[in-house]
């Protein structure tokens, strides 16, 4: 934790919303105070806040989360204004500016230029000393964002990936990840998890009527950042403190990074770029790119599908159609189809030019 200089904090709807009021002000006040304390200590913090729909429900007198898209969007439109105004006024009392950032899936996943533009916006907000307050653009993009990203847990992971935060803290109504669940209650808290741990048997579900996320989405968010070389902590919003988490206290569940930190370009290739097709490779090629760090050559490719051009990002799959990685392809699909399984001399003969790697190792990310 000593190297943490930038963090993303995500707080869930069940923690933001009050029981009898649209917002639970004691939790929000404490959160703002703790973010300002971290900021004063030199840590840059971005806040991903759920709660727009929940706050809108409270203001509109709704007791159950809407299921119809138009109703969700209406509740979000009402609640988003209340939520951001609350954050803005609380931060302003401490002399801190906030920058509201509403994101859709397209801002993160559609193309490289939009991705870079959003990243540059965050960088400038940090330079100004402002705290970015982020939410999905529920009022216009519910269906799109839920389909492509999931919920705010995954949005927070994508934001952390985008800004290269060393730590994502997911604050919820649970104290962390439990070894097992019985009658809806967690038993035996897991304090530390690594990439080698099997998570299939430890996924529970939030009982909240307000939020969308359960433990599965939180683990998915943590796994994305583990692959990027970053840490994630799942903790309780009303019991655990940010300063303790950043100081390395034994609270919640800490997910450790798998390996070295990925650079910005590889983060985009692996976890933010749209894929235009898939390449199937044999077992030898899988071993070459995963164990030996080599580039993918035409000789190891057995099939290709999709409509992709030179420079597009494609999925790399093994013979059992499991994704191994993603990368920028140096051939268009029509060219690649002609040279499947061919050696470099054969490729030169077929295409009448020197053979290239299908995906160079500098353009390849293992997923």
Whether 83 and 61 share a structural domain? yes
- The answer as to whether 39 is a domain residue is yes
User: Tokens 């429900």 — which residue?
Assistant: 57
User: In this structure, which long-range contacts are made by residues 239-242, counting pairs with CB atoms below 8 Å and at least 24 apart in sequence?
Assistant: 239/175, 240/171, 240/175, 241/34, 242/9, 242/31, 242/34, 242/35, 242/37, 242/38, 242/169
Whether 213 and 315 share a structural domain? no
* pLDDT score recorded for residue 210: 44
* pLDDT score recorded for residue 203: 56
Comparing CA positions, the residue from 91, 77, 9 lying closest to residue 43 is 9
How many Å apart are CA 74 and CA 69, to the nearest integer?
Answer: 9
> Of 212, 245, 266, which one is at a domain's C-terminal end?
266
Whether 119 and 196 share a structural domain? yes
Count of residues for the chain? 367
- The answer as to whether 1 is a domain residue is no
Q: What is the CATH number of the domain that holds 298?
A: 2.30.130.10
Whether 226 and 311 share a structural domain? no
Which SS3 state, helix, strand or coil, does residue 179 take?
Answer: strand
pLDDT band at 42, cuts 50/70/90? very high
Comparing CA positions, the residue from 329, 295, 302, 336 lying closest to residue 313 is 329
> Of 266, 300, 322, which one is at a domain's C-terminal end?
266
Whether 122 and 248 share a structural domain? yes
pLDDT digits over 63-122, tens only? 888 888 788 888 888 888 899 999 999 999 999 999 999 887 778 877 788 888 999 999
Q: Are strands 313-317 and 277-281 parallel, antiparallel or unpaired?
A: parallel
- The answer as to whether 41 is a domain residue is yes
Whether 254 and 284 share a structural domain? no
Whether 254 and 360 share a structural domain? no
Domain that residue 334 falls in: 275-366
Q: What is the pTM of this model?
A: 0.83
Q: What is the CATH number of the domain that holds 157?
A: 3.40.1160.10
């Amino acid at each position: 934790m000593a190297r943490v200089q930038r963090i993303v904090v995500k707080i869930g709807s069940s923690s933001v919303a009050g029981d009898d009021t649209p917002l639970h002000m004691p939790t929000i006040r404490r959160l703002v105070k703790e973010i300002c304390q971290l900021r004063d200590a030199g840590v840059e913090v971005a806040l991903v806040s759920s709660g727009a729909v929940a706050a809108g429900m409270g203001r509109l007198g709704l007791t159950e989360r809407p299921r119809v898209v138009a109703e969700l969007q209406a509740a979000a439109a009402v609640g988003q204004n209340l939520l951001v105004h609350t954050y803005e006024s609380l931060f302003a009392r401490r002399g801190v500016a906030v920058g509201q950032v509403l994101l859709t899936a397209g801002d993160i996943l559609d193309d490289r230029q939009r991705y870079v533009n959003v990243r540059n916006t965050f960088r400038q907000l940090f330079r100004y000393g402002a705290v970015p307050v982020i939410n999905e653009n529920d009022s216009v993009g519910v269906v799109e964002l839920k389909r492509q990203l999931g919920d705010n847990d995954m949005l927070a992971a994508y934001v952390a990936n985008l800004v290269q935060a060393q730590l994502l803290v997911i604050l919820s109504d649970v104290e962390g990840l439990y070894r097992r669940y019985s009658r809806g209650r967690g038993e035996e808290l897991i304090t530390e998890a690594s990439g080698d741990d099997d998570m299939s048997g430890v996924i529970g579900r939030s009982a909240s009527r307000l939020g969308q996320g359960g433990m599965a989405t939180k683990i998915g968010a943590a796994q994305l950042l583990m692959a990027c070389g970053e840490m994630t902590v799942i903790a309780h919003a009303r019991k655990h403190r940010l300063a303790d988490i950043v100081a390395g206290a034994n609270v919640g569940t800490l997910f450790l990074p798998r390996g070295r930190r990925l650079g910005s370009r590889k983060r985009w290739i692996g976890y933010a770029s749209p894929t235009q097709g898939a390449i199937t490779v044999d077992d030898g090629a899988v071993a070459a790119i995963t164990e030996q760090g080599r580039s993918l050559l035409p000789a190891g490719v057995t099939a290709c599908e999709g409509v992709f051009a030179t420079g597009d990002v494609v999925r790399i799959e093994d013979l059992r159609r499991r994704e191994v990685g993603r990368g920028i392809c140096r051939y268009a699909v029509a060219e690649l189809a002609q040279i499947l399984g061919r050696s470099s001399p054969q490729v030169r003969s077929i295409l009448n030019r020197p053979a290239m790697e299908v995906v160079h190792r500098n353009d390849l990310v293992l997923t």
